[in-house]
Chains A and B, each alone.
Chain A
Amino acid sequence: MAMLLDVASWILLSAGGVFVLVGGIGALRMPNLYTRMHAASVTDTMGALLVIAGIMLQAGLSLVSIKLAAILLFLLFTSPTSSYALASAALLAGIKPDAGSTADREDAP
């Protein structure tokens, strides 16, 4: 049973790590601000969810698990809000959500 829990926990942690990595690559490689934010939001949601779920399996039924669940709930509330605030600020600053645009990159031609 303990072995099974370990395996499940490792699968969750590795999958979370993959999502964080993908989010990081996307945040670096995507062409403009909105697509970069879209990629980075994977880190906040799926990455955080899977990693915390993996740690919760390690912690078992204890106070630590409850605290982790509270942190997860907090993240699920705050990270979409901060993404919204960032996108809204970018829109106010005059960056157009144009799919092909690379206008806001510093190395843009």
Chain B
Amino acid sequence: MTVLFGVLLLTMLVVTAVAIVRTKNLFVAVMLLGIFSLLIAANFFILDAADVALTEAAVGAGISTVLFLGALALTSEFEKVPTPHRWLSLAVVTGATLVVLYATLDKPKFGDPGAPAHQHVAPWYLEHTPEYIGIPNVVTAILGSFRGYDTLGEVFVVFTAGIGVLFLFSARRRPAGRRKTAGLQDLDIGLRKDVIPRVVSRLLAPFILLFGLYVQFHGEYGPGGGFQAGALIAAAFILYALVEGEERTLQALPAGALVALMVGGAMLYGLVGLLGILMGSNFLDYSVLSEQPVSGQQLGIILIEAGVGMAVTGVLLSIFHAFAARDRV
């Protein structure tokens, strides 16, 4: 049954990918990219990778669609006339496809228990997570503790991307004095004229925030964690900004607070790592943070996940506001 669903989803994935390449309308391409992300998220889910599926659905289908639309608002809706080197690109793509297809011949069969992925470190993680970390979600244990260096790197990549976008975009921001302060009754802003989206979005935004916090703090027990929670919390604010206008969202969570979240999240992660050294162990070893090694590990994971969530929220919302501000200049 899983194979059947997998084949169906992958076929639809290929169809969507071809449609994305074929379409000349960039707006259609963005919508198809959202569908692509949802399909690949469903595919991850039937392969039991719930954490990855949640991230893909929140970031791929949600946030990046909004960011693409924000970028599209600054440019034209239609693709430019294709460049004349089409045969060259086709040859390169065909070559790369053949190489990848050749590489798949050596791969183990789907679900093969003897595959290297199931023989290398994965059994060790599965066996020792209850003993060392004591949390049910092994993915969070690997992400937060066993491979804490990798996640630290990912947070700093996200952080760097946020800084890069702010550098590129914030130079042309309007001076604060000229902004008119918007009242709640000013119907020209956002989608305020549309009563139904306005009412429903105002109703749902707090629950999306609540769900984001649930995903953040329930990450040790179920699918979720800082990355997914950050995307969900950012989505709630972006929804509010789309309906009520960017000004009121910036009043609720000012740009300075977003930068503080970005920097604070990355710093929190790094400082928890340094705390390990100060308490007499290695960088990012949480066992020494508490008297019991297991509860120390859990405390460390909660702290670094909070750092990840803060950094992701700050970066995504900063990027969104950077695009939105650019739109109005």
Chain A interface residues toward B at CB < 8 A = 74, 77-78, 80-81, 84-85, 88
Contacts and interface: CB of A to CB of B under 8 A. Distances in A.
Nearest to A83: B196
B108 interface: no
B201 to A, nearest CB: 8
Contacts of B201: 81
A80 B194 CA distance: 13
Contacts of A80: 196
Given A78-B200, A81-B196, 15 more contacts: A74-B204, A77-B200, A77-B203, A77-B204, A78-B204, A80-B196, A81-B197, A81-B200, A81-B201, A84-B194, A84-B196, A84-B197, A85-B194, A85-B197, A88-B194
Interface string B82-101: 00000000000000000000
Contacts of A88: 194
B45 to A, nearest CB: 14
B147 to A, nearest CB: 30
Q: Which of under 10, 10 to 19, 20 to 34, or 35 or more describes the interface residues of B?
A: under 10
Q: Which 6 A-B pairs have the closest CB atoms?
A: A81-B200, A84-B196, A77-B200, A81-B197, A85-B197, A81-B196
A84 B203 CA distance: 16
Interface in B120-157: none
A70 to B, nearest CB: 9
A24 to B, nearest CB: 14
Interface in B170-220: 194, 196-197, 200-201, 203-204
Contacts of A85: 194, 197
Of listed A77, A81, A85, residue having the most chain B CB within 10 A = A81
Contacts of A81: 196-197, 200-201
B50 to A, nearest CB: 13
A17 to B, nearest CB: 16
